[in-house]
């Protein structure tokens, strides 16, 4: 996931963490990724302007939210 994001234009830094303790094997023998498991941050540099975006699960809203910093 991190490598594919880093190939996008203007991306300067990428950090993706997956909570593997939440990853459980299903009846078919593989795990399924869920938005609650992911914490990601990407730093974009477009014509000298820097934006940092984060994706993190918000338990209060029960949804993974993206924010700009």
CB of 53 closer than 8 Å to CB of 14: no
CATH number, domain with residue 23: 3.30.1300.20
- Label residue 24 by pLDDT band (50, 70, 90): confident
Is pLDDT at 21 greater than 90 in this prediction? Answer: no
Distance (Å, whole) CA 57 – CA 65: 6
pLDDT digits (tens, 9 = 90+) for 34-57: 999 999 999 999 999 999 999 999
Mean pLDDT of 17-43: 91
What strands lie across the sheet with 49-58, from one edge to the other? 11-18, 38-46, 49-58, 63-68
Mean pLDDT of 50-68: 96
| Count of domains forming the chain | 1
Distance (Å, whole) CA 42 – CA 31: 25
**pTM of the predicted structure, to 2 decimals:** 0.82
Structural domain containing residue 63 = 2-68
């Amino acid at each position: 996931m991190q490598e594919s994001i880093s190939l996008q234009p203007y991306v300067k830094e990428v950090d993706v963490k997956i909570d593997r303790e939440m990853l459980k094997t299903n009846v078919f023998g593989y795990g399924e990724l869920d938005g609650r498991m992911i914490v990601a941050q990407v730093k974009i540099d477009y014509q000298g302007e820097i934006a940092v975006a984060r994706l993190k699960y918000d338990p209060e809203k029960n949804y993974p939210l993206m924010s700009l910093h």
